[in-house]
Structure formats: structure tokens, C-alpha cells
Structure 1
Amino acid sequence: MESNDSSEVVHDFYPRFRVYKDGRVERFRRVNIVPPSDDPKTGVQSKDVVVSPETGLSARLFRPPIPNPGQKLPLLIYNHGGAFCLESAFSSVFHNYLNSLVAEANVIAVSVDYRLAPEHPIPACYEDSWAVTRWVFSHSNGGGPDPWLNRDADFDRVFLAGDSAGANIAHDTLIRAGSDGGMKILGAVLAHPFFGNDEPDKLWACICPDSSGVDDPRLNPAADPTRLSRVVCRMVMICVAEEDSLRERGVTYYEALRTSGWGGEAELVETEGEGHVFHLFNQESERAVTQLKRVASFLNRV
């Protein structure tokens, strides 16, 4: 008797998703999408832009109040987390977080809404982050398509950031920019980076079918110090949490980056008694606010 391809499960990652033999993907988590806004509390404005109509790639831009005409602000390119397969730059979680960070740090932010796995396996997310980064830098001479970036962004103070999978994606962009981008990126913030562990990761194998395994440098950058040394920026903050299962690889990344021949300044920030991306789940908690202020200070260091 032939199997029913429409009901046979080939990958089961409940409560994230299931993949069926006929290619259908069933998702279980609903994302609370919110529109861009003019936030009355902080004065931060946001809007959405289409970067690539061909792929549907888009981003959400955030701008704080700018009382002095002609003032240039640091520019942050942000990649959201979600295990490469969940969440959105337009979700309430990341909209609220970027709104708060932009207000606290007084920066312009571009939040990347990259394509998600498994429908779009890795490297689609890397390609999307790279495309948005290139789009952002098309404004560096004041001639890009978006007036906020042309007028208000300081392209001598550009930062990349992300949490969890987004931190992994930000790292990949740092490597690409150092290899063939010709872009000036000052620093990066990698919060609770998704760099795997010493055990085979079934989710990673599913969403990155061409992976070489636990030592794939895209998953574990420390496995290839030569590639790691090509990180393009001159300062990196790595945030880890004591009770996060991904903590050890975050610490290993910090140590490997410092000894790789990179030559920049690496800073490790650890929060005791907290788990993975705690600062997103309860954004008004004391420790979340402390981390937010730490990141904001980093973005204004120069």
C-alpha cells in the first residue's frame, strides 16, 4: 500500500514546525505582527521599506527625534532571532525592542525581515542580510532611495547586531563585508548567539542541508580561526546568559575571536541567573533594562 505523501512527516520540530513528504510546511507559532508607528512615549518613528521586490525582502526603519537639523546619528543594522525559522522584524517583540533601543541609544536602525527556513533554507537568511546591508550602504553618499538614511545616518558609525540566530546572521555579514564588501562597519553586538554546541543539531541539519556538521564555520565560527579573523569591524560585544544552553559557544567565540589574529577589541557581557534572550521576553525587567543600556552605551562609544 502506498504511503500518503500529504500526511507523512519527514521533519518534526514541534512546536516550531513540521515538514511533510510532499514539501508542505506546518507552522505552530503565530507571530503578532504590528504596523510601523509614531511612538508617543519615545517619539521614535518607524516605517517599512521594500529592499528587493523579486524576493519580497523588506526591512523596518526606526528614527528617534532629531531636534538639530543636519545631525548625523549612528546606524544600526539588526537581524532578529528565532532559530532561523521563526519571528519577524515586524513582530511586536522586535518592534518594541528596536523602538526602545533606538530611543535609548539615539540611533537610526534598520531591522531586516529576512526569509525564514525551512521554506527558504540557509543561506537565504544570509543572502537577505547581505542584500539589506548593501542597500543600506547605497545611501552612504546621500544618493540612496530612502531620505532618512540619506539625511540622518552617520556612515562612519555603522553597527551590526542581532540576537540568537540573528547574531549568527550578523556574524556572517561581518565576514562577507570583510571579504568583498569594501564597507566600513565600526562594531557589532551579538546577543546570545546561535553558534550551536558540541552535539549534532537536527534543526540545523534540516534548515541548512549543505552543512558539514557541528564544525561548519557558519554554525561554529571558532572552528575556522582564519575565516574568523576576517571579521571586518574593530569592536565586538558578545552578550551571554548564565543559564542559556548556547552560552558556552558564545564564550568560545569571544575567546577565539581574540586569538584569531583579528586585532580588534572584544567584550564579553554575561548576565547571571537568566536564560536565552531573556531581554526580549520581559523587556522591562531590571536585567533587561541593564543590558539595553549596556548595548546603547556600546553604540555610542565613538
Structure 2
Amino acid sequence: MDNTTTTDEVAIDFLPLFRIYKDGRIHRFTGTDVHPPSTNPDTGVQSKDVVVSSETGLSGRLFLPRITDSTAGKLPFLLFIHGGAFVIESAFSPAYHNHVAALAAEANVVAFSVDYRRAPEHHLPIAYDDTWDALQWAISHSGGDGPEEWLNRHADFRRVYVAGDSAGANIAHNVVVRAGVDGLINGANITGMVLFHPYFDHGEVNKLLDIVFPKRSRPMDPRVNPGSDPNQLAKLACEKVLIFVAQKDFLRDRGLSYYEALKTSGWGGSVELADTEDEGHVFHLHNPGCDRALALMEDGFLFKHD
């Protein structure tokens, strides 16, 4: 006999994104649609889904740009981490499928979009650990004998880039710091990190972090407030960082603070800031065809010029 009971009593409302009921159910109001893997007829970018760990369910989507005689050699590898307040969206969401496919085409990189386990079912730091595991799994193909032939044949792990937007940018930061602390296997090298409209804490009451990261160190955990620990910031294992902010983004000041903290941390790389006028948070996902989104895509590919 099934003794499971459900209730419509609400424990936490975080509208318009999600709601948690007292019986533990989570209702995500957005970011639940799925786009199947496919081949883009215009750019020739192919995609397919892969499982990183059957034990944890960690998976993601690989993107391979059109391979021609001029691109027959190995291409840079991009690890992309989607946003969504750590709770909504996935690597398979239509907006993120289209965005990462466009990144792969524009920058001519092999890309892997990580489908990390989300809060509140899986509190942070699980998303950090999943993304680190995904990077390690990808790099394990450096010798050409991994389970995914696209990575074996086409990815150059001496030229790794890590990018993410919003919450995904926070995860990207933590993964690149961990690479600086723990090192990377097989001689892999992170050349650059790109943060689109990054989400960081501001050291005040934060309802979202109380839900997704209840065991963080308060009030200034460096995993969500990097400026609180310059020594950790200085361990970023990449040569350059590009940070995008937007004039009307409610997180703009946090991106600016990260930029200033990184410049004074003692980190030895180069950091650039790009500020988009008259636009809000992750506008390039909502309106990817607008002029400013196209300019962001063009400006964001510091790695395509290496």
C-alpha cells in the first residue's frame, strides 16, 4: 500500500521561477522545455547527448562544428555551464541548446554543455562538483582513447575555455579556481574564462542562496562571494578572463565587483570587462537575433583569436 501523501501547502515561493511544497515537491514554472540534439542546417553544428556518470546521472550535450579541410586539426574545447538560479533550465533547454550551438559555430570550438544536478533537490556545492567531474571526464579523452569519438578526434585540451552565464558563471568561476588548486590531468590547460552576467552574492540576506546553498559559510563564503578571499581569486587557473555585464541587469554591480576584485587579487592573468548599454540580464538568450546580442557573441569569443 502506498502511504505517500501530497499536499498543496507551500513551503517556499520563489516566483516567477519555482515553488517548493511542504511535502517536498518542486514546481518549476519555467526552464523545463527540452530541445532534442540535432544538426543545424545553416551552420552544420552537430549535437548529441552523453552520459558522464551513470552512478550520479551526470550528463550533458556535445556540440561539434562543421569540420572542413581547413579545420581538420584539433579545435579548442569549450566547457559551458548554463544558468537558471541553480534551479531551472538545463543543458537541453531550447535557449541553451541554441546558444551553445551558436558558440560552437562562431568560435569554431568543440563544446560540452554540462547538465549538472540542480537545487533544491541537490544543494550546492553538488553543481560545482558535477561540473568539475564533467571537466575531468572531458580531459580524460586527451590521449585519444576515451568513450566519445568527437572528443578523441577533434578536441585540443591544451586550449580549454570555461564559460557560463548567471548562476553558470558562478559555477565556472569555482571550477577554474579548483583547477588552480588541484591541477588538471593529462597536461590540459585552461586558456580563458568567459562570464556572462555572473551571479555572485553581495554579503546581505539572500533568500535564493538560503534555498540552494544552506550550508555555505556565512556571510562571505568565497564560493559565492569571491571578493571576500583575494588569495583564492589569485588561484584562477586561466590566462585571461572576459566578464560581460549589462546596464539594466540587476546583477551588474556584482559583475563589476568581481572585475575589480580580480584586478587587485594578485592573479597574474589579464581581465577585460564588456558593458552592454540598455539591456538586462541574459538578454542575449531572450533575443539572440538583436544587434547587441550579435555584438556580444562576436566580442565574447576571445578564444577564437588564439
Q: Which amino acid aligns with 1:300?
A: K
- Paired residues of 2:31 and 2:90 also in contact (CA < 8 A): no
Q: How is 1:114-133 mapped onto 2 (pairs within 5 angstroms)? A: 114-133=116-135
Q: Deviations over 1:204-252 (max 9, x none)?
A: 1111010223421111111111111110001000000011111111111
Q: What residue number does 2:225 align with?
A: 220
Q: What residue number does 2:275 align with?
A: 270
Q: What residue number does 2:303 align with?
A: 299
- Equivalent position SS for 2:175: helix
Q: How is 1:1-302 mapped onto 2 (pairs within 5 angstroms)? A: 6-29=7-30, 31-68=32-69, 70-182=72-184, 183-296=188-301, 298-302=302-306
CA shift at 1:200, angstroms?
Answer: 1.3
CA shift at 1:259, angstroms?
Answer: 1.0
Distance of 2:269 and 2:218 partners within structure 1: 28
Higher mean Cα deviation, 6-15 or 77-86?
6-15
- Equivalent position SS for 1:186: strand
Distance of 2:125 and 2:52 partners within structure 1: 18
Q: TM-score, normalised by structure 2?
A: 0.94
CA shift at 1:30, angstroms?
Answer: 5.1
CA shift at 1:153, angstroms?
Answer: 0.9
Higher mean Cα deviation, 6-15 or 119-128?
6-15
Q: TM-score, normalised by structure 1?
A: 0.95
The alpha-carbon distance between structure 1 residues 128 and 255, as it changes in their structure 2 partners (threshold 3 A), is same
Distance of 1:281 and 1:158 partners within structure 2: 27
Q: Give RMSD over aligned pairs.
A: 1.5
Distance of 1:30 and 1:108 partners within structure 2: 25
CA shift at 1:27, angstroms?
Answer: 2.3
**Unaligned 5+ residue runs, structure 1?**
none
Q: Deviations over 1:169-204 (max 9, x none)?
A: 000100111111334211100010001335311011
Give the aligned length.
298
Question: Sequence identity of aligned pairs in percent?
Answer: 54
- Paired residues of 1:196 and 1:246 also in contact (CA < 8 A): no
**Unaligned 5+ residue runs, structure 2?**
none
- Equivalent position SS for 1:217: coil
